[in-house]
């Protein structure tokens, strides 16, 4: 009997969300490769970054991600890049997650290989995070990114902040890249408010995010999207099983009411796991004993 194919989910993030020709050139490295499926890519103008979702078999996915990183290093100069989202490098992150028939240990091993190859091929320093972190602090992206590119550049020579692979310094234009493996990928979720007062969105974001007393698996910011009216509580949700989408939606709605503000809608940015949608469906409809195989389309997914 033939062995079942293994698949990894990767959600890399590179530091350009504004220049269409640069974005397309970088993303093109993930297209048309046997064993690799580009699911989506989401350029974010204000953040000036692009988040990519790609699924693939380990070997071809590894090479595709390395080629993508090379193109990011070639086309993005961190001495010139500006954006509101925390970042330390042109190819800022390469996170891997088990998707099918593969263990977290195998994903962590592949992350180690990718990190080593990035430095060997491109001399870009690497930080390991998630299950690959060399210390407890570095399990969190926020610790590695503290001070962002500019701040990290000034302290990368110190024992606490130096890269895990490469010299105690950042690359002169590419910065550094964070490589990791972990159990669950993040879900990007926005909740829209009918107020132009961004301070309200910021107060709600502070309440919802883990470090300031909210949900431990959620990070959030309150911001204004220039292309639409109102403001938004923008969340990265790292475990939608522990903290479901409906729970954060209801929390934001409840907090907004304190300020006389209503929620106008919400948005999932990029792909989301079916189980996370079913979770909220069960909650809002009060479904009992609902099974995934009751969804007809699920029988086409195997």
Where in the sequence numbering do the catalytic residues fall?
A: 85
Whether 123 contacts 172, CB under 8 Å: no
How far apart are alpha carbons 106 and 114 in whole angstroms?
Answer: 12
Where are the strands (E) in 82-196, listed by range? 91-100, 126-130, 177-181, 187-193
CA distance 107 to 98: 6
Token pair, residue 294, equals 């009751």
Between CA 108 and CA 95 the distance in angstroms is 10
Q: Alpha-carbon torsion 101, 105, 109, 111, what sign?
A: positive
Which residues fall within 8 angstroms of residue 42, CB to CB, at 6 or more apart?
50, 51, 52, 188, 269, 270
Q: Which stretches within the chain are classed as H helix?
A: 20-27, 58-75, 104-122, 141-144, 148-155, 198-208, 245-258, 274-285
Count of all residues that appear for the chain in the document: 302
Cα end-to-end span (Å), the chain: 18
Q: What are phi and psi of 205, to 5 degrees?
A: -60, -40
The sign one gets for the Cα dihedral 53, 57, 60, 63 is positive
């Amino acid at each position: 009997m033939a062995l079942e194919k293994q698949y990894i989910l990767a959600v890399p993030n590179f530091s350009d969300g504004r220049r269409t020709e640069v974005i397309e050139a970088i993303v093109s490295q993930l297209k048309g490769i046997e064993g690799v499926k580009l699911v989506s890519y989401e350029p974010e103008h204000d953040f000036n970054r692009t988040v990519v979702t790609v699924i693939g078999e380990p070997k071809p996915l590894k090479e595709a991600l390395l080629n993508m990183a090379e193109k990011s290093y070639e086309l993005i100069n961190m001495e010139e890049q500006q954006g509101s989202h925390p970042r330390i490098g042109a190819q800022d992150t390469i996170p891997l997650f088990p998707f099918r028939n593969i263990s977290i240990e195998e994903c962590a091993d592949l992350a180690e290989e990718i990190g080593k190859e990035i430095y060997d091929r491109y001399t870009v320093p690497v930080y390991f995070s998630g299950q690959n972190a060399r210390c407890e602090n570095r399990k969190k992206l926020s610790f590695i990114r503290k001070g962002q590119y500019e701040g990290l550049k000034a302290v990368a020579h110190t024992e606490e902040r130096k890269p895990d692979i490469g010299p105690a310094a950042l690359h002169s234009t590419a910065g550094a890249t964070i490589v990791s493996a972990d159990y669950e990928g993040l879900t990007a979720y926005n909740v829209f408010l009918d107020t132009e007062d961004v301070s309200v969105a910021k107060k709600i974001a502070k309440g919802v995010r883990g470090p300031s007393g909210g949900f431990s698996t959620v990070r959030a910011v309150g911001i204004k999207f220039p292309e639409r009216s109102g403001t938004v509580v923008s969340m990265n949700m790292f475990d939608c099983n522990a903290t479901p989408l409906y729970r954060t939606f209801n929390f934001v709605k409840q907090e907004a009411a304190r300020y006389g503000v209503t929620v106008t809608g919400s948005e999932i940015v990029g792909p989301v796991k079916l189980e996370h949608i079913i979770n909220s469906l069960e909650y809002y409809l009060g479904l009992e004993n609902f099974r995934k195989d009751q969804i007809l389309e699920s029988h086409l997914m195997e």
